[in-house]
Amino acid sequence: MSDDFYPFVDSGDPAPDNAHITGIRASGADPADADGTAPSAEQATYATRIAVYDDMLSTPRVIVIAPKDVRSYLEEITNTVYRCMREQGGGISLMVIREIVENFIHANFVEPIISILDDGNTIRFADQGPGIEDKERAFEFGVTSADRDQKRYIRGTGAGFPMVQQYLENAGGAVSIEDNLHQGTVVTVSIDPARVMEIEHAAERGGAVRGAQPLQAMPRQQMPGAPGVANPMAPNAGAPLSYQAGYTPYPQGYGFGAPGTQAPGAYPAPQGYAAYQPQGYPPAAYQQPYQAPWPQQPAPPTQGWAPQAGMGAGGWPQEVPHAGEPYVSERGALALSFLAQHGSGGPTDLAGAFGSSAPTWSRELETLAQVGLVIKRGQKRFLTEMGQLWAQNHQQNQQNA
């Protein structure tokens, strides 16, 4: 096969042993044949089965790749999977397929099976080799188990899974590494939205998961501003404000009471009127805790009192010092406090400090990155400017409590 298919890898020729300088042949050097030719390439011993699912209601079409020399074997598997994936309408990069197919060499090509699902947008690679003990570290650059012999056919620099992770995160997909049923490894890559949500649950089974986590997947009862959430975001400017039944209208004639009520002498408020509030009058009945009165106006006492942004007074609501700040869970608050104290950190650091698993903290850090509180540089996370502001206000809240 052409060496261009696997750039920057050994051609297979024996390395020089400096015998012309020392007069001594290095032990373990690959001897050449009597005619000066190098020994033949290592042969794979197991066939690869590629299962193509046209739909989930029929058995898959199976393509068998017969074992042969390693270079030709890797090339044929990669090209066949990519061709079948494109025929199904998938859009996964050839680079992703190539990097994971190359990892079969770590499993000594023991019973490799590749499944093409979801119209080509999901590919699952399985083997029955020795498996991967530390799956989280497989996503770190430079971490590899490739030996000298394997580096004749692959780069062996530990860049494969990190590159796959970066591609899928940018494409809105996900990748997971799990144990196979008896032994070996299962790697699943997908850019199908429904399958991505399924892959994210692989962490609950002890797998390592990387990929984008869409914000719309957050349960409604945990969304910022939802009833019962202690940290609601302020409503959008110009949007109709939510009313609260039972609130006594302020007797100034602006009609900010409960729906269907009107203050004495007040003109009816137009439907949806809420974009303008005159200075000096109490704000509209925001969802708790934003239904606070102005300090200089007498009004019925309310729970969860909070001053208007910019007033500089105490009594901020817990974890929401400014209107519009994103929702942060209890675990997210621990992660932000840790990063503020130590400067940087990762899932392993947080797992050691607070318990839970590294995949759990990895998902939490991804959520914080989605809302702009955390940024990833290399394999560490750092607070953004907004994250630093959140940490400062959170610390001030704890001191005032």
Apex CA 116: angle with CA 111 and CA 117, to 5°?
A: 130
Find out whether 126 and 113 touch, Cβ atoms under 8 Å.
yes
What does the pLDDT read at residue 148? Answer: 75
Listed residue (99, 108, 103) closest to 44, CA to CA:
108
Q: Are 123 and 92 in contact (CB under 8 A)?
A: yes
Long-range contacts of 216-219 (CB under 8 A, 24+ apart): none
pLDDT for position 50: 96
Task: Please give the model's pTM, rounded to 2 decimal places.
Answer: 0.47
The whole-number pLDDT of residue 212 equals 60
**Could you say which residues of the chain have pLDDT below 50?**
1-13, 15-16, 20, 22, 26-41, 214-227, 231-235, 237-238, 241-260, 263, 265-266, 269, 275, 278, 281, 283-295, 299, 302, 304-321
Distance CA 361, CA 353 (A): 11
Give the number of other CB atoms < 10 A from CB of residue 154. 24
Query: For the chain, how many residues are written?
Result: 401
Are residues 337 and 394 in contact, defined by beta-carbon separation less than 8 angstroms?
Answer: yes
Summarised one tens digit per residue, pLDDT across range 86-100 is 999 999 999 999 999
- The whole-number pLDDT of residue 312 equals 42
Tokens of 188: 């699943």
Extract the tokens encoding 129: 């080799």
Q: State the DSSP H helix or E strand holding residue 190, giving kind and residue range, or none if neither.
A: strand 185-190
Amino acid residing at 239: A
Compute the CA torsion angle 328, 334, 335, 336 (nearest 10 deg). Answer: 70
From residue 217, give the alpha-carbon distance in Å to each of 172, 198, 210, 213: 13, 12, 16, 8
Other CB atoms within 10 Å distance of the CB of residue 135: 23
Compute the distance between CA of residue 143 and CA of residue 161 in angstroms, rounded to an integer: 10
Per-residue confidence (pLDDT) for residue 271, from 0 to 100 = 54
Matching residue, tokens 């404000």: 241
Written as six digits, the tokens of 131 are 């498996």
Provide the strand spans (E) within 74-183.
Answer: 113-117, 122-126, 174-179
Domains of the chain by range and CATH? 48-201 (3.30.565.60), 330-400 (1.10.10.10)
The token duo for 189 is 């890559």
256, burial (CB in 10 Å: exposed 0-12, middle 13-18, buried 19+): buried
Question: Could you give the CA distance from residue 16 to residue 257 in angstroms, rounded to a whole number?
Answer: 88
